[in-house]
Amino acid sequence: MLTKPEEQTVKTIPCSDCGQPLPPNAKFCLHCGDPYHACPKCGHDHPAGAVKCPDCGAPLPMPCRECGELVDAEAKFCPSCGSSQVLACPGCNHEIKPGQKFCMECGHKLTWNESEGRE
């Protein structure tokens, strides 16, 4: 007895801006023009500048502070220009995370520029 092949379900991905479904292989939303920023793990569209995927929680690539190329969230160096992606406390050189207000090692109060890797 022959059976029908199981129908493959295509997961529709909603636009993070307007909520309309994005067509397969889209680079931007056909309804509002918002660019499609795909999560490398699940493909969910996320707003520009998001740190983690709103659907699966995976860390998202961030632009390099020197050249602007997208860099994996776990990378310590940019593969394009080689610049360090690790933020360091100016007081003790201990690694700090973006948005941190104080260094957890020496207690140095960090400015917004220091905690975001800007000069």
pTM as predicted:
0.63
Taking only the tens place, the pLDDT of each residue in 30-52 is: 999 999 999 999 999 999 888 89
**Beta carbons of 115 and 89 less than 8 angstroms apart:** no
pLDDT value at 3 more than 60: no
**What is the pLDDT, as a whole number, of residue 5?**
52
pLDDT value at 4 more than 70: no
What would the 3-class secondary structure string for 53-93 be? CCCCCCECCEECCCCCCEECCCCCECCCCCCECCEECCCCC
pLDDT value at 10 more than 60: yes
**What is the pLDDT, as a whole number, of residue 49?**
83
pLDDT value at 115 more than 90: no
